[in-house]
Structure 1
């Protein structure tokens, strides 16, 4: 098949869709991608890229670069960034001369990535499959803080249009189905299709190079976006409790995001500079090597209906790396950790129970923690294995 992937984010930005594209090529399909100019998460164009960046080839994948305006670090610029991709992406579709059999839309926020797909579907006479990663318009309210009913209503109409035009609506979490049914999408059109993770996410040996950068102590590691949705204050508050209990836990944050400055201030206010370490961003391929130096991996989300419905994509990466998981979240993500029996779960934003769970994990034997990690990788292989999910996607589109 000739497949066009439409995603506002793609290589060299680090998103799971990069590996899906590579996996489809491995399966013998011809893949092209319509995307923007890389600027996530810092909000500025990557070195070597500009507003007028040219199309390129990456690992046999043709990348069509649509112009867009960078997201920068404020709400207005982010909104303009979203709209600019819709406008320029729509125009870019007109410039593409090859034809396609199928179109896959990677539906991270914003949902408006589906608008260029409507035009592409009509032009190429190819169906598109919209892979929902974030629920709209609820994401606007929960993660974006938008409460204006007219804005919410406007984006609800756009979302319904995009879903109505899609051949299938793929959902990364079973919890999404009920919400999308309320947007008048027929049940038979909704397909559960979870995220997998790249092959390089696996158990690794401890690296002497990375060990030199690590603080001594029991290490809890967080990797990913330092944003509003992650409720990082919950982790900092738990760190304070454990420090006061003289439990020698070291919190290591890998990543960057809009809330980094706020977290740095909180660390200073609570005098946690000896307990919490923000090491910055590293290539995704380095993450398993960092995880090897952790005693457990932590993920957290805000207490909100929409976040209870989602499975954070980092969870699959954590599972594959065979480490115990500490989860501070509600709903679908919590169910994965509980069903996999691979860690401890506390309710979203409940920093006291989170601290208790980490203390419980601290007092487990090394053998008990290793067994938790083994159960994590077993659960990943059974439910989220890369090869299985790639085959499922190909079979769905090839019907």
Structure 2
């Protein structure tokens, strides 16, 4: 089966789709990737690439990556982001077919975190190549635009909604990363089938062992680690408010590993409020994360309080489950449900700092054996629901079903 993976974000950027491609190859798919010039998250094109360059390269493991021109994000201001998004749509739609001339594909698979409009290029290429288009939806549009405050104009939101509806209805199959997405997506999708396909965990965690060198050593004590993007939707003001409540317990530390739009604000706020139990060591490459998370006493995931966020399953939940560590979930809806169903930790209402502080304190006071049981329960749930190789086989089956429904 020949698969073209279309994704705006790809290696050497750190996104889950990188490993999904490896997993698809492992289950027998012939994969080519169509992507842009790497520039996330710093907003500057990576060394060795040019924003308006195009052509192909071979990944170190042997598959072809075709790159189209892309306007870099810059400092993630509104104009820079819009230019970034639209340039990828135009490049994949106009230049993509030329770069792929003479190549045939059975499936065009779109990895679709925001923005969903990247699927437009896939639909055009699919028509040219007579290939089926499968879109893997990671965010709900236009709801996510409204939830993050990026777009507030009602007319513009309605226009985006019309485009999304068109994309959904022109696709051959829609996959959703959260079961809670299904009703909203199906309502807009018309007769296009919608199926659940979760994000897998990261292969790096399966190969980690304690003998490997770690990039960051955590101090002794009860270390609650948050890893990932430090942005608005992560509700990190709630996290530092909970940390302030926990100041009387000096053994408890909250470690914010990562970077994002709120990094500078968080650092200044921590200093202003004299919150001595929060540490911000910065961002680390994905291959370093197993060694860091393996040292944690507990792992923290948080999201803002919003109906759309409650339907989302942050991809870090799969990562956390794979570590075998207890999890604290300060969020509503689907993500909290998974943690509770797995028996992997404790959940509390989104943006509720006193409740979050109490959940952290509860874990801190539990016997180590109980914490270990929670972690083991999470690992068992991960292996039965999010193991990468199993999900790659399932993804291939989705493709095969689409191809048989000609």
| Bin of the TM-score, shorter chain as denominator length | over 0.9
Distance 1:337 1:38 in 2: 33
CA deviation after TM superposition for structure 1 residue 185, in Å: 3.0
CA deviation after TM superposition for structure 1 residue 202, in Å: 3.9
Partner of 2:32: 32
CA deviation after TM superposition for structure 1 residue 17, in Å: 0.6
* 1:75 maps onto 2:63 in alignment: no
Which aligned pairs between 1:138-153 and structure 2 lie closer than 5 A? 138-153=143-158
* Residue 353 of structure 2, aligned match among 351, 354, 364: 351
Partner of 1:18: 18
CA deviation after TM superposition for structure 1 residue 214, in Å: 2.1
Which aligned pairs between 1:93-104 and structure 2 lie closer than 5 A? 93-95=96-98, 96-97=100-101, 98-104=103-109
* 1:250 maps onto 2:231 in alignment: no
Q: Paired residues, what number?
A: 396
Partner of 2:404: none
Which aligned pairs between 1:40-189 and structure 2 lie closer than 5 A? 40-51=40-51, 52-58=53-59, 59-73=61-75, 74-95=77-98, 96-97=100-101, 98-186=103-191, 189=193
CA deviation after TM superposition for structure 1 residue 247, in Å: 4.5
Is the contact between residue 211 and residue 293 of structure 1 (CA under 8 Å) also seen in structure 2? Answer: no
CA deviation after TM superposition for structure 1 residue 210, in Å: 3.7
Distance 1:2 1:297 in 2: 39
Is the contact between residue 37 and residue 65 of structure 1 (CA under 8 Å) also seen in structure 2? Answer: yes
* 1:320 maps onto 2:322 in alignment: yes
* Residue 193 of structure 1, aligned match among 193, 197, 203: 197
CA deviation after TM superposition for structure 1 residue 389, in Å: 1.0
Distance 1:267 1:176, change over 3 A: same
Q: Secondary structure at the match of 1:237?
A: helix
CA deviation after TM superposition for structure 1 residue 237, in Å: 0.7
Which aligned pairs between 1:303-342 and structure 2 lie closer than 5 A? 303-342=305-344
Is the contact between residue 224 and residue 255 of structure 2 (CA under 8 Å) also seen in structure 1? Answer: yes
Is the contact between residue 34 and residue 65 of structure 2 (CA under 8 Å) also seen in structure 1? Answer: yes
Q: Which region of structure 1 is more displaced relative to structure 2, 100-109 or 46-55?
A: 46-55
Q: TM-score, normalised by structure 1?
A: 0.96
CA deviation after TM superposition for structure 1 residue 293, in Å: 1.0
Which runs of 5 or more residues in structure 2 are unaligned? 402-406
Distance 2:243 2:299 in 1: 14
Distance 1:165 1:212, change over 3 A: closer
Distance 1:17 1:362, change over 3 A: same
* 1:229 maps onto 2:233 in alignment: yes
Is the contact between residue 250 and residue 277 of structure 2 (CA under 8 Å) also seen in structure 1? Answer: no
CA deviation after TM superposition for structure 1 residue 184, in Å: 4.3
CA deviation after TM superposition for structure 1 residue 249, in Å: 1.3
Q: Secondary structure at the match of 2:161?
A: helix
CA deviation after TM superposition for structure 1 residue 189, in Å: 0.4
Is the contact between residue 215 and residue 291 of structure 2 (CA under 8 Å) also seen in structure 1? Answer: no
Distance 2:362 2:281 in 1: 26
CA deviation after TM superposition for structure 1 residue 207, in Å: 6.3
Is the contact between residue 107 and residue 131 of structure 1 (CA under 8 Å) also seen in structure 2? Answer: yes
Is the contact between residue 204 and residue 321 of structure 1 (CA under 8 Å) also seen in structure 2? Answer: no
Distance 1:258 1:212 in 2: 22
CA deviation after TM superposition for structure 1 residue 29, in Å: 1.5
CA offsets, 1:312-370, max 9 Å, x none? 11100110111000100000000000001110101110111000000000011111111
Distance 1:247 1:334 in 2: 28
Q: Secondary structure at the match of 1:379?
A: helix
Q: Secondary structure at the match of 1:169?
A: strand
Distance 2:282 2:141 in 1: 30
CA deviation after TM superposition for structure 1 residue 5, in Å: 0.4
Is the contact between residue 19 and residue 197 of structure 1 (CA under 8 Å) also seen in structure 2? Answer: no
CA deviation after TM superposition for structure 1 residue 265, in Å: 1.4
Partner of 1:374: 376
Which aligned pairs between 1:294-305 and structure 2 lie closer than 5 A? 294-305=296-307
Distance 1:236 1:93 in 2: 45
Distance 1:383 1:20, change over 3 A: same
